[in-house]
Amino acid sequence: MRKRPIRVLVAKPGLDGHDRGAKVLAHALRDAGMEVIYTGLHQTPEMIANSALQEDADVVCVSILSGAHNQVFPEILRLLKEKGAGDIPVLGGGIIPDADIATLKKHGVKEIFTPGSALGDITKFIEALIPAV
């Protein structure tokens, strides 16, 4: 049994202003009993990594639709590692071509959820990923 809720940071990097999916995910995770911190739009990888540390996040969920995923995810992972938080799992969601998913996972992204992914599947994945805290 968990002593406290899983803390999830939901972030929207770059100039992409479409955050409906991130907000829907945030609500679903809250409904599942998780504590969600939504960073808002136009975050840099540095801002996301800093927020993950400041908020003591258990997991970081990054929603990206801009096509910059091959630059953004490795940078977030690098910064987390550099800041001593490389153990915080990073998940991705949004418009990410199938051909890029394997590469992102090789960089260290734990999972990618593309449009049409069931919110319950994302919730279950996070619950299984994060040990009882």
64 falls within a domain: yes
The owner of tokens 């990206």 is: 64
Q: What sign does the CA torsion over 113, 115, 117, 123 have?
A: positive
State the residue range of the domain holding 19: 7-129
* 104 within some domain: yes
18: domain CATH number? 3.40.50.280
- For the chain, the domain total comes to 1
Confidence (pLDDT) at 131? 84
Rounded to two decimals, the pTM is 0.95
**121 lies in some domain:** yes
Evaluate whether 59 touches 9 at the Cβ level (below 8 Å).
Answer: yes
Instruction: Please report, in tens digits, the pLDDT of each residue of the chain (133 residues total).
Output: 678 999 999 999 988 888 999 999 999 999 999 999 999 999 999 999 999 999 999 999 999 999 999 999 999 999 999 999 999 999 999 999 999 999 999 999 999 999 999 999 999 999 999 987 6
Q: Is residue 1 part of a domain?
A: no
- Give the burial class of 116: count Cβ atoms within 10 A of its Cβ; 0-12 exposed, 13-18 middle, 19 or more buried: exposed
Q: Which of 32, 52, 46, 60 is nearest to 120 (CA)?
A: 32
